[in-house]
Amino acid sequence: MKTHSILTVGSLAFDSIQTPAGKVDSVLGGSGNYFSIAASHYAPVEVVGVVGEDFPKDHLEWLSSRKIGVSGVKIAAGKTFHWVGSYDRNLNEAQTLSTSLNVFEHFDPHLSQRHREIPYVFLANIDPVLQQNVLDQIQTPRLVACDSMNFWITGKPTELRKTLARVDLLSINEGEAYLLSGHKNVMLAAMEIQKMGPSTVIIKRGEYGANLLTPSGFFIAPAYPTARVVDPTGAGDSFAGAVMGYLAEQGAHRDLAHSDPKQWERLLRRAVLAGSVMASFTVEDFSFRRLMNLKVSDLVERQAALMRMMSLE
């Protein structure tokens, strides 16, 4: 079975975060980082983004060592995007204290010919106008997924709808799903979003797992129970990375929904479970430190444990 590459377009950033477990200042973060590192456990990744002159070159070298291509990361004059946030004891929602876009403010992704030909595409949480710009450049995608957030849902609803009409899979959290759909019920929210374009909708619910709606049905995936949550930042991005990584590794594509719906449903369910497991590692430390030290045996062991928890035997 041939493993296909994934293209992701998103942020590489610095985060300053305070949680009940502690505080860190200017650690590495960004959706492009979390997604790529998680997905690279399953498939090769190419990341497109922009960083400032203050971004550590050794991190880009480390990404390259992990089957993560960084030729699409532009180093621009200025400072790297910096997000400052905090979590109270309800670790499911972050409070943004400040955002400094810096060089990310003028981010305008232009894909190389090699990037245009990559069959699996994940549009991280960026301006929906930029998401459409990327899709205009992609040539023959087999599967397109995206993420979004409250800022774009309320600030650019028309442009976001245009993006959603062109993607196969949307992965967003519960609050975003309610805001986007106008429903306060997970099932109704997913069904309403499905009408906007994406045939597959994943609603992430933090410690309560994730809900998956496909053309064939509804699936509830549990979260892996983690005794110590240090930092939830990036858990959703790493969840999406594992989902797309697994699908690319398996060669799953949008046409399966019609040609072999049972297989498509089976692969999506397994992908969501892989996402739950990956996210459970992310939250165990600040930044993506835990993901950087993750071994294949760690993933296999925790995936097996989650399957045992789901068994009725």
Q: What is the pLDDT of residue 304?
A: 95
Summarised one tens digit per residue, pLDDT across range 68-77 is 999 999 999 9
**Contact call for residues 139 and 113 (beta carbons, < 8 A):** no
**Contact call for residues 167 and 197 (beta carbons, < 8 A):** yes
* CA 260 – CA 64 distance, rounded (Å): 36
Q: What is the pLDDT of residue 73?
A: 97
Q: What is the pLDDT of residue 252?
A: 92
Q: What is the domain count for the chain? A: 1
Q: Domain of 299: which CATH number?
A: 3.40.1190.20
| pTM check: above 0.75 | yes
Q: CA nearest 49: which of 164, 161, 160, 130?
A: 130
* CA 39 – CA 264 distance, rounded (Å): 19
Its domain, for residue 18, covers 6-310
The alpha carbon torsion through 205, 209, 214, 216 (nearest 10 deg) reads -140
> Is position 1 within any domain?
no
> Is position 209 within any domain?
yes
* CA 108 – CA 173 distance, rounded (Å): 26
> Is position 63 within any domain?
yes
* 3-class DSSP assignment, residue 285: coil
Q: What is the pLDDT of residue 2?
A: 59
Pairing of strands 22-29, 95-100: unpaired
Summarised one tens digit per residue, pLDDT across range 92-144 is 778 899 999 999 999 999 999 999 999 999 999 999 999 999 999 999 999 99
Upper half-sphere CA count for residue 271 (Cβ side, 13 Å)? 31
Summarised one tens digit per residue, pLDDT across range 158-200 is 999 999 999 999 999 999 999 999 999 999 999 999 999 999 9
Per the structure block, which two tokens stand in for 297? 């045996």
pLDDT at 3 over 80: no
* 3-class DSSP assignment, residue 52: coil
* 3-class DSSP assignment, residue 232: coil
**Mean pLDDT across the stretch 17-29?**
95
Q: Rounded to the nearest 10 degrees, what angle do helices 261-282 and 31-39 cross at?
A: 120
Give the helix/strand (H/E) hosting 46: strand 45-51
